[in-house]
């Protein structure tokens, strides 16, 4: 039986500004918009071309307002200025504003000041505050986080990082990072044994996904355990990956990008989902299809999704660790079936779009003076 997530009603006009509007985030914004009596306005710009982010240009229920992003420098020195942010606030006039809690976005402090000058609250939304910083940088990060009236993060580890900065626990909310709604159909029925198991990856084909490791790990397995490897997606790394597969794992199948009803039968065909690099939302989608998962532990959000009962976390970039976990998984198909059912249960009861929307509703109620049952407990 799936857990129930009461649909919150947000009696306000909500504004949400973020650097870009990825296509995978659209279902969440549309679901959140249905709860806002005054509407939801989303302000976002375009990514840099090298980021290979598929961006949306319109929303149906929420209102989309395009920003002009000015990008400066790269890597740890990256900065972004969003032109038009204050003009959008003056037009949309949100009662509550949600911003990315990222100090690299230089326009956001002005937006916080604009809201606070009018007595309106601002919620920060981010991964957390990982890493150790020098005394000055730590103090600046602490000061920046305390400009928000509440914080939303994807994971319990992110909540712990915000709390470590001295941010009040009662104003930290965990909204599980989700791209798929709570499943309503029964999990796919898979056979207890298969002659050759199928391993699947879905997502953009980018270097950070480390699919080269997955190909090498499959090639390193004993022949009796080598799976049918299906790589679903497209992107800048597709040709190099196909060339590598031709040399070391020629049976790998590249389907191109598939979504929705086109993707569903491939997930149902698979026995195991593997994400050897960074990401996260594709993991939740695979788990909704009752697949066990092997995932590289990257930004901390994976720890809430991947547990001993439904999968394995591997060290990023560690070929030996990935190969060992693949061998362990593929050697015991009946166990994979039980783990897949646990994946389905986690998505049905805990980590889905409905739970994410409900957590945002609690955060907004908090800053508007409402009551909430719990915060870092999700």
Encode the chain (378 residues) as per-residue pLDDT tens digits.
Answer: 345 566 578 999 999 999 999 988 999 999 999 999 999 999 999 999 888 788 999 999 999 999 999 999 998 899 999 999 999 999 999 999 999 999 999 999 999 999 999 999 999 999 887 666 556 677 888 999 999 999 999 988 899 999 999 999 999 999 988 888 899 899 999 999 999 999 999 998 999 999 999 999 999 999 999 999 999 999 899 999 999 999 999 999 999 999 889 999 999 999 999 999 987 789 999 999 999 999 997 656 677 889 999 999 999 999 999 999 999 999 999 999 999 999 999 999 999 999 999 999 999 999 998 433 334 444
Yes or no: say if 10 and 364 are a contact pair by the CB < 8 Å rule: yes
**261 and 191 Cβ atoms separated by less than 8 Å:** no
Second CATH level (architecture) for the domain 198-349: 3-Layer(aba) Sandwich (3.40)
- CA–CA dist 131, 104 (Å, integer): 15
Query: Are the CB atoms for 259 and 277 separated by under 8 Å?
Result: no
Condensed to tens digits (0 to 9), the pLDDT of residues 345-369 reads 999 999 999 999 999 999 999 999 8
**Distance of alpha carbon 276 from alpha carbon 225, whole angstroms:** 18
Dist CA 22 CA 7 (whole Å): 24
Only one residue has tokens 């090639």, namely 219
Q: Which residues contact 284 (CB under 8 A, 6 or more apart)?
A: 177, 178, 179, 180, 305, 347, 351, 352
Rounded-to-integer distance, Cα 41 and Cα 63, Å? 5
Cβ partners under 8 Å of residue 39, min gap 6: 13, 14, 33, 62, 63
Domain boundaries along the sequence of the chain: 14-181+352-367, 198-349
Residue 55 is classified by DSSP as: B
Q: Return the CATH number of the domain spanning residue range 14-181+352-367.
A: 3.40.50.2000
**Degrees to nearest 5, angle at CA 147 with 144 and 152:** 90
Tokens of 272: 């195991």
Question: First-to-last CA distance in the chain?
Answer: 19
Q: Tell me if domain 14-181+352-367 and domain 198-349 are identical in fold.
A: yes
Which tokens hold the place of 223?
């022949």
Report the distance separating Cα 1 and Cα 162, nearest Å: 33
Q: List all residues 6 or more positions away from 342 whose beta carbon is below 8 Å from its beta carbon.
A: 292, 307, 309, 310
């Amino acid at each position: 039986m799936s857990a129930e997530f009461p649909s919150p009603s947000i009696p306000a006009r909500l504004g949400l500004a973020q650097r870009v509007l990825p296509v995978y985030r659209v279902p969440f914004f549309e679901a959140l918009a249905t709860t806002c009596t005054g509407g939801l306005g989303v302000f976002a710009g375009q990514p840099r071309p090298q980021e290979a982010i598929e961006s949306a240009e319109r929303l149906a229920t929420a209102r989309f307002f395009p920003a002009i992003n000015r990008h400066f420098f790269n890597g740890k020195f990256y900065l972004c200025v969003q032109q038009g942010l204050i003009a959008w606030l003056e037009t949309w006039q949100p009662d509550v504003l949600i911003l990315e809690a990222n100090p690299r976005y230089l326009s956001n402090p002005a937006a916080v000041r604009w809201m606070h000058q009018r007595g309106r609250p601002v919620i920060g939304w981010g991964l957390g505050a990982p890493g150790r910083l020098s005394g000055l940088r730590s103090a600046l990060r602490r000061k920046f986080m305390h400009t928000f009236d509440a914080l939303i993060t994807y994971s319990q580890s992110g909540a712990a990082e915000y709390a470590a900065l001295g941010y009040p626990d009662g104003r930290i909310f965990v909204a599980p990072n989700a791209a798929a709604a709570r499943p309503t159909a029964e999990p796919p029925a898979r056979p207890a044994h298969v002659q050759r198991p199928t391993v699947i990856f879905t997502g953009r084909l980018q270097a950070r996904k480390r699919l080269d490791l997955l190909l090498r790990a499959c090639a390193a397995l004993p022949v009796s355990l080598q799976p049918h490897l299906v790589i679903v997606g497209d992107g800048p790394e597709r040709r190099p990956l196909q060339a590598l597969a031709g040399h070391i794992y020629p049976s790998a199948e590249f389907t191109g990008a598939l979504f929705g009803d086109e993707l569903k039968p491939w997930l149902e065909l698979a026995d195991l989902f593997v994400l050897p690099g960074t990401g996260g939302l594709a993991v939740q989608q695979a788990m909704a299809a009752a697949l066990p998962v092997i995932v590289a532990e990257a930004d901390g959000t994976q720890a809430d999704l991947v547990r001993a009962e439904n999968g394995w976390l591997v060290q990023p970039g560690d070929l030996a660790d990935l190969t060992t976990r693949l061998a362990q998984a593929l050697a015991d198909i009946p166990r994979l079936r039980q783990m897949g059912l646990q994946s389905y249960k986690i998505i049905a009861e805990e980590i889905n779009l409905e739970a994410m929307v409900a957590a945002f509703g609690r955060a907004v109620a908090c800053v508007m003076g409402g009551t909430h049952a719990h915060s870092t407990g999700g």
